[in-house]
Amino acid sequence: MKLTMIMYAYYLLFKYTAWQKEVFRQKLGERDLVLVMRARDSRIARSFIFEKGRVSSASGDRKDALCRLVWATEADGARVMMDIARGDSKALMKAVIDGRLQLEGDAMAVSWYMAAVNQLGKMYLKKKKKKE
């Protein structure tokens, strides 16, 4: 249930930011693709459709997805997505290395999506000042 809400919140953040920020709308306009996030251990899935600078989303998997982010468990997906929301730009990479996330499909599409998520983080998260 928690993963479902977090994935939906990501969709809303993508949609809101594309509406508000021209630079992000331009990023979304770089590619048209369908991406699916799902948990391997359950039926939970959400499709993200990026088309002509716009984003839409629907519950469930899609056969026409160019790529998939498959979480080992719902809990892993929720934890990592919250880490990303808190500003850990390396959370996805760490999850892949740890075996909590499996990437399927077009590697360039996954890379583009990760860059878009990182751009969101830069827009909304304040950088912590280093202590000198």
Rg (CA), the chain: 14
Taking only the tens place, the pLDDT of each residue in 69-125 is: 999 999 999 999 999 888 887 888 899 999 999 999 999 999 999 889 888 888 888
Q: Which sign does the torsion angle of CA 109, 35, 15, 94 carry?
A: negative
How much is the pLDDT for 127? Answer: 59
77-85: long-range contacts (C-beta < 8 A, 24 or more apart)?
Answer: 77/3, 77/6, 77/7, 77/37, 77/39, 77/101, 78/2, 78/3, 78/6, 81/3, 81/6, 81/7, 81/10, 82/6, 84/117, 84/121, 85/6
Return the number of other C-beta atoms located less than 10 Å from residue 77's C-beta.
28
Taking only the tens place, the pLDDT of each residue in 34-60 is: 999 999 988 899 999 999 989 999 999
